[in-house]
Structure formats: C-alpha cells, structure tokens
Structure 1
Amino acid sequence: MTDFATPQHLARRTCAAIDAAAGAGRDLGLGVTDATVLHDLFSVVVHLAPAPVVARVPTVLPHSTDLDSLARRQQAELDVTWWLADQGTPVIPPSPLVPREPVQRDGFSMTFWQFVEEDPAREPDYAANCEMVADLHAAMRAYPGRLPYLSSAEPRFVTESLALLQNHPDLIGPAELDRARREWQILEPLVRSRAAFEERFPGIDLQPIHGDSPPANIFAGVDRDLYSDFELVTLGPVEWDLAALGPALESAYDRGARRNGMRPLDKDVLGFVNAVGMLRAIACLTLAPQLPPLVEYVKPAIDQWRTMPFAGGMAD
C-alpha cells in the first residue's frame, strides 16, 4: 500500500473528476456551465447544471478493479435501473438525455443519471426503508437480464486485501487478521460458487438484488422516496441486502415480505451474509490510503465483528 492521500491530493482528485464529468457532458451535447458537487466519498457525484443530469464518477476503487471491469459493472447498473424505471418502480433512472452507457474520460469511468431534487430536511426512517426493500425485491424478481452470482461480495478483493493487510498491523492486529483469514477459508467457497451456496442452504432462492444495503440507499426526493445506487447489483439471496442491520430492521423487512407474498429472512443465511459483510469491511481498510477517513468509518464494524460468532456460525 502507498502513503495515505493528503487533503491536497483528495482535492485535486475531486477537481479532476469534476472536470472529466463536465467535459464528458459537453461532449455528449449537454450545456454545462455550473458543475456542482452533490456528494464526494467513494464517488464524486456532480450535477451538470443547468442540465438536469447528474454524473457519478467512482474515484476510490479496489486495486483489482480496472476501467473495463468497472464499466461492465456500471452497464449492469444502468440496465437494471432503466428496466425498473420502465416497470414503474420508483428509482433514480439513467438520464434520457445521453446514451445509456458508461463514459470513460481522463482515467475515470462515469455514468449519467436524471437529476432529482433532494429534501434535505428529512431524516432516514430505516424501518420504513427496510419494508420498502421488500417491495424492491418483489419488483426485481422478474428482471430478465443476466447477473453474476454474489459479485457484490467481491471475493478477489477480499482475498487480496487480507494478504496485503499482513504488512499493515497499524490497520489491523495480527490476531484479528488471523481470525479474518480463517473465517474467509470457510466463507469464500460459498461466495464464489452458486452450487456450493445452494448445497449449504437448500431451498433458499436466488434472485436479482440491489447488492449494497438498499435501506441506506433510498433517496429522499422532494416528491417521493426513490431507490438509488445500484452499483453492486447482483444475483444473490435477499438476505445480502439486509446484512448487519439487526433484528428490529430484519423484522421490518419481514413485514414487507409478507405483504408481497415472499418468504421471511432466513437466520442461517443472515449469519453467512453478516460474516461476509464484516470481512468486506476489513478488506476496505486497504482502500484507506485512497480515502483516509475509512479507518474511522470501518472501526465500528470491526468492533461489532469481534463480538460475533466465528464465521457467522458456519464452522459449527
């Protein structure tokens, strides 16, 4: 791993992403005079004002992700959200003003979305959001496109990150890293192989899912709530979308599932996805040189992981 990015480096990266987004927008025929940053963490999200278009430019990426693999993932997101919007599902859709495909410029790969005005005064209601996720799952079941199995778990990233962390006891201690590696030996086969998952969890259906904690990715629009940020859309058990939320929010999802005639969450599968999610959080420490605040963001997850059963009880 490299030295941690300085505030000056982060500012230059943000400016480069803004310039790339504005330039790409103009190349596509948009009148961009006031590019405004709406969000800047793993991606720089830019309103290409006055056009009603938002560009999302990923800037913090695993070392194993290149522009081509990122573009394939982005295309899947565009395809799924366009289909959902066409079915009447409340999502932030791709912009209809530009071609529905990723654009590469100046070392970035970006996507373009319809601008929606946010209601900044509204606080998230995560119980209501979890009920809404069941509605999303019901809508996604009919998606006709092909999606890879549990790609959102990013098994290559986890494997390589656990190896890289060997040289960084400042980020995670040797005993904890040893535990993480032993857990991954148990969990990785079920993440990489659909057949292995189905053998371990018979009767658990797999379907298109959001892939990245949809209760935390419901956009509070001025007119209505909208599902957003399908960057990690994948095929998997619905439990993946509810990982690490706890019993109260799991019960909220189950209420929505019953309303949609769907099965409740399976406790054993929740144990599996919770354990995998924690190892992904640990793997994200390798991104801290690109985004130094990640160390503090990840700390609560690691504290929680210390209290959890080994490998989510999968070793029993």
Structure 2
Amino acid sequence: MQAMATRTSDLENTKTPDEDKVKMSCDMSATSGGCPFAPEDVVNIIAELFAVDRDTKIHNYFICSKNMCNTVTQCCKSVLGSKKFHHDRFITAKYWWLVFKEDQSAENCGMYCFICKKHQMANPQNKSEKFCSKPSIRFKYDALNTHATVGVHAAAMENELLQHMSPFHQENVQRKAVRNSVYNKAFSTAYFIMSNYIANRVFVPLIEFAETVLHVPDLRYFDHKSVASCREILILLGKTLKQKITDSVRCRDSFGLMTDEVTDISVSQQLVTFIQYFDKSKGCMQTKFLSSQDILVEYNSANANAIYSLLKKEIESNDLSVKSCKGLSTDGASGWQ
C-alpha cells in the first residue's frame, strides 16, 4: 500500500489558499478581537437570528455604532433588577460577536454569541446552552473572555468562515473529514468480494454502484481505483486474512493440506493449496485457501521434489510444524508419486 500511503500523505499535507485564510482569520479573531466579516454581513446575520418587535431591542458593536446607541433602556434595567449591563464596556470591537438582547421576559434578556447561536454550538461537557439558545446574565469580563477561547466558539467560527470560502476548499475539508470512513467502506467492500469468492474485477463497479444507487456519496472521494491500487488492496487483505487463518491453525494439534497443480492463462504452473483444520470455537471442520505458488520460478517442472519443497517452504514460512500436517489430499497423478 505504499502508493496509497504516499497519495494520502500528499492529500493531508496539501493546503489551499482558502485554508490559510481560515487559519489567519481565526488567529486574528482569537488574538486581537478583530472581526473577520464585513459589518453588513454581521448585521444581516443578527437580523435573521433575532426577531425584533416593540418589546425587544438588539445591541451589537456594529448596530450600536451605526445607530449611536450607548446604553440600554430603562425598561431593560428594570427587568435585570440588581444586575447591571455596562454597554460602554462590553459593546466594543473586541467583543464584536456579542449580542445583548433586551426583552420584557427576564428569561430571554441577556448576552448571546450570534456565531454560536447560528451554528447551535452547545458546550459538549456540561451541555450548557449559554450564549447560544439561552442568554448569559453573568456580566463580567472573564465570562466573555472565557467564551471567546472555548472550543465550541472556535468551531462555530470555523464553520462560519468555511461558508465564506470557495467550493474547492469546502470539498477539500470534507474529503479530509470522511477519509477514514471512506477507506473503511472501500476495504469492507473488497473483503465482501473476497469472502464470497466474487471476481475482483467487480470491485470498482461495486464501489460506484454503492455511491450512486445506494446513496453513499462519500465514496466519490475514494480515488484508488486503478488496477494497481485495487491489486494492492486485495493483496493486503489477503495477507491479513491469511495471518488470521494461520494463527488459528497454529493453536491446533493437527491440520491437513489439499493441493493441486494448475496451469493458468499465462501458462504458469501454480501450486494451489488449501488447509483444513478443526475449529473448536465453531465445532466443525474449516477449509481455507492457503497459497498459490508459481512452481516454475524455482523449478523446471512440477515434479514430486518441487511440490514437496514448495509445500514444506509454505508450512514453515507460516510458523507451522511439518509434523502437525497429518493429512495430504491430491488427485493421485504420477507427479505425486
């Protein structure tokens, strides 16, 4: 899988210009308090999120700067009671994301983060919805500074920034997010083909069928569809399954072999071998494919000595004992004598 690993590594290390913009914008927001969005975009988002009527009033840095607002209404002060919201301290460029909502109901009157509210970001640890769907009434600097640095706020910021980025960057982010899931689905498909003795040439058509007909759109990100890549996938799965089989056989006292010489389409003589053993966990005999060895690589013909040497080599290479081989099944041809 070296080719696949190389391509995957290249993908992980590839950065788009938009990705750099996201990082720079997040860094700017986290360090200097600067807003990475246009003021009119902020005003439009707030207008969509907060319904304004005669009983409510919205305060935000960009809104109040335009309307020259510098305090909350007397009615709001009455609703808050002993708590005091200092407009001049909190409605500033540093807290551009802060929205203070005046409301006749004390339950809805307080501070919100319009970015977190838009993306419905609640604290994953304590499930707190403060600054999101519920207002915060802790009018302290540390409350605002803490919210500005928590992970959910950063995640909401990134989500919002991604909506302003190019489709190419969004595609690249989505590709990285589902990479492991895509590989898992592809390898599971290959395993299904192998375990059901289906021709491996249907691997790519089956992937495409799952993507289009079974509506698994993430499979469009699976790029390893070349003949060489498919072969590597199947070989890797084959080695893994073979290791699992030999590990199981190694725990048994005995096993048997079934083998025969087959000449394939390339006129190569292949020694195809199956292994049989008793599986105690399943309470029955198991017959599994073990190997396919090219006889003519080391020997001139498929004679008895060549077959014996290859079988012995295969047994020993899998850390199995030759003495544990209690049975051998062949077709009884003269080459086996």
TM-score (norm 2): 0.20
Highest Rg: 1 or 2?
A: 2
TM-score (norm 1): 0.21
